[in-house]
Amino acid sequence: MDLGYAGKVAVVTGGSSGIGLATVRLLLEEGASVAFCARNASRLNDVAAVLRRDFGDERVMTAAFSVLDAGAVAEFAAAVTARFGRCDLLVNNAGQGRVSTFAETSDADWRDEFELKLFSQIHPIRAFLPLLREARGAIVAVNSLLAYQPEPHMVCTSAARAGVQNLVKSLSVELAPQVRVNAILLGLVGSGQWSRRFAEREDRSVSREQWYADLAAKKGIPLGRLGDPADAAGAIAYLGSQAAGYVTGAQLEVSGGLSRHI
Ligand code: NDP
């Protein structure tokens, strides 16, 4: 299937690791030029150097900033306009989960979490909307199954993710017909977040493979494994492509079958 990315321009937030990086790489393989950001400049530069070697300098653009800095996001949009003159796809991926029960979550934590989840969508969408409208482009929000299936140890992040899903639905109506807006709902993907949790494991003798396999069994994932970043990237690339040209306001679950609802 031709996803139609040749000559197109994509923007990916949080592109220096995990799902974001897999998405950047896949979009480059499919022929798009890609602009991506993350906060840590050194990791971003390392990743960009490899991608420039593999795909050419002219198709790779980076900037180091937080998506919570509205001014920096606006500057990034201006730089993308100056460099590429268009944006066909915005992937709002930057972020991380928060592990906490209600009892463990302070008011400041609640504010931080809602700020991260909602403004990591709002700032990039506002900044790139003129370009997306002009290109009749698409937005893909990287969200979690927690939006519909909250976990007791992730109360705060689950509530914030439900808010993001609600926003995606509203935007799919308000931005139509020019811009399509969809989301992926992740289960457990073995990327940066889970690598960090593996590194903090109590039993140091357990290997990564065993720790991931035990986790998949404990969580009851029907497909029997954690997802790979590439699994998520494939779903993102599909939703952002011409192949999904009649799909908006939808959510695509990428969880190995973890949802308990139909
Ligand atoms: P990683 O930690 O591997 O990657 C996160 C990326 O986002 C990094 O490039 C990071 O770089 C960047 N980032 C984080 N915060 C910001 C910020 N404020 N501004 C700009 N960039 C930022 O995580 P994953 O690939 O696992 O996660 C990607 C997305 O998927 C996240 O939003 C996460 O919450 C979501 N998700 C992941 C799940 C999983 O199981 N992996 C499950 C459900 C949702 P830097 O730190 O340098 O800024």
Summarised one tens digit per residue, pLDDT across range 3-14 is: 999 999 999 999
Residue 162 has pLDDT above 80, yes or no: yes
Q: In which band, very low, low, confident or very high, does the pLDDT at 77 lie, cut at 50, 70 and 90?
A: very high
Q: Rounded to the nearest whole angstrom, what is the distance from the C-alpha of residue 210 to the centroid of ligand 1?
A: 24
Q: Tell me if the bond preceding 177 is cis, omega within 30° of 0.
A: yes
The confidence band for 135, taking pLDDT boundaries of 50, 70 and 90, is very high
194: pLDDT confidence band, cut at 50, 70 and 90? confident
Q: Model confidence at 196, in pLDDT bands (50, 70, 90)?
A: confident
pLDDT in tens, 215-254: 999 999 999 999 999 999 999 999 999 999 999 999 999 9
Mean pLDDT of the chain: 97
Instruction: Please state the atom number of ligand 1 nearest to the C-alpha of residue 97.
Output: 34
For ligand 1, atom 43, name the residue with the nearest CA: 144
What pLDDT is attached to residue 195? 84
pLDDT at residue 255 tops 80: yes
Q: How confident is the model at residue 193 (pLDDT cuts 50, 70, 90)?
A: confident
Residues at CB less than 6 angstroms from ligand 1: 13-20, 37-40, 43, 66-68, 93-97, 142, 144, 186, 188-189, 191-194
Q: In a mutational test of the pocket of ligand 1, which residue from 34, 39, 225 has the highest number of ligand atoms less than 8 Å from its CB?
A: 39
The residue-averaged pLDDT of 41-58 equals 98
Confidence band (pLDDT; 50, 70, 90) for 72?
Answer: very high
Q: What structural domains does the chain harbor?
A: 9-187+230-253 (3.40.50.720), 190-226 (no CATH)
Q: What is the pLDDT of residues 167-188, one digit of tens each?
A: 999 999 999 999 999 999 999 9
- Per the DSSP assignment, residues forming a β-bridge with 64 are 38
Alpha-carbon distance of 129 to 136, in angstroms, equals: 10
pLDDT at 209 over 90: no
| CA 51 / ligand 1 centre spacing (Å) | 19
Segment 85-99 shows an average pLDDT of 97
| pTM attached to this predicted model | 0.97
pLDDT at 151 over 80: yes
How far is ligand 1, taken at its centre, from the CA of residue 108, in Å? 21
